[in-house]
């Protein structure tokens, strides 16, 4: 998967810009957006995350695109692929993830962006420098019903329950689930 820019009817999935950092930091500081994560992020941590998400394109040939609304040109979040965390079911595979600013929830942006990302993940690279992925994972806290609903709408299957090793014991978000989608299932 090498597409550095993808356009959908309402979104542009693109590499990150320096101007994305401020709205990204605001999104990561929002307790509602970060409700299913261990904590909100301060500006320095958020900036470092933006760098790592974008660096995936150079390191792996794919990453997590910044999401921009086509109508307003506003940064609204991210979606895309990255390596699965170590020490969880599916480790060594690829994970699709997303995060959308609260003002843009319940408008179908996560589904639209994730669909475009999965199309890119499962399509053979036209320049043959990388093969299509055969499987994509997604993980979240058991109680994160909004993300689980996105996973189900994408056709992903629930395959594992596990305790996330970096989430402290006793935390309500320690219990996690893994969903999987294969290339064959997506192409049907």
Number of neighbours of residue 39 by Cβ within 10 angstroms: 9
Q: Output the pLDDT for position 128.
A: 45
pLDDT tens for the chain, 188 residues long, are 457 899 999 999 999 999 999 999 999 999 999 999 999 999 999 999 999 999 988 888 788 999 999 999 999 999 999 999 999 999 999 999 999 999 999 999 999 999 999 999 998 666 545 568 999 999 999 999 999 999 999 999 999 999 999 999 999 999 999 999 999 999 88
How high is the pLDDT of residue 127?
Answer: 57
Residues 6 and 65 sit within 8 Å (Cβ to Cβ): yes
Domain chopping of the chain, boundaries: 5-187
**pTM to 2 decimal places:** 0.92
Is CATH 3.40.50.2300 correct for 5-187? no
Q: In what order do the strands lie in the sheet with 157-163?
A: 5-7, 11-14, 64-69, 75-83, 94-100, 135-141, 175-182, 157-163
For residue 108, what pLDDT is reported?
A: 96
């Amino acid at each position: 998967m090498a597409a550095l820019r993808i356009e959908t009817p309402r979104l542009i999935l693109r590499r990150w810009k320096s101007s994305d950092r401020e709205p990204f930091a605001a999104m990561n500081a929002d307790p509602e957006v970060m409700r299913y994560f261990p904590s909100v992020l301060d500006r320095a941590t958020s900036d470092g995350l933006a760098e790592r998400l974008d660096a995936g394109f150079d390191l792996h040939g794919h990453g997590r695109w910044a999401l921009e609304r086509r109508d307003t040109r506003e940064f609204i979040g991210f979606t895309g692929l990255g390596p699965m965390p170590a020490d969880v079911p599916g480790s060594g595979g690829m994970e699709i993830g997303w995060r959308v600013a609260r003002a843009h929830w319940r408008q179908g942006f996560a589904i639209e962006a994730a669909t475009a990302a999965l199309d890119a993940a499962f399509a053979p690279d036209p320049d043959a420098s990388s093969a299509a992925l055969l499987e994509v994972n997604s993980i979240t806290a058991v109680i994160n019903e909004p993300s689980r609903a996105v996973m189900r709408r994408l056709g992903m299957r629930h395959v594992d329950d596990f305790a996330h090793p970096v989430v402290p014991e006793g935390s309500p978000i320690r219990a996690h689930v893994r969903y999987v989608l294969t290339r064959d299932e997506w192409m049907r």
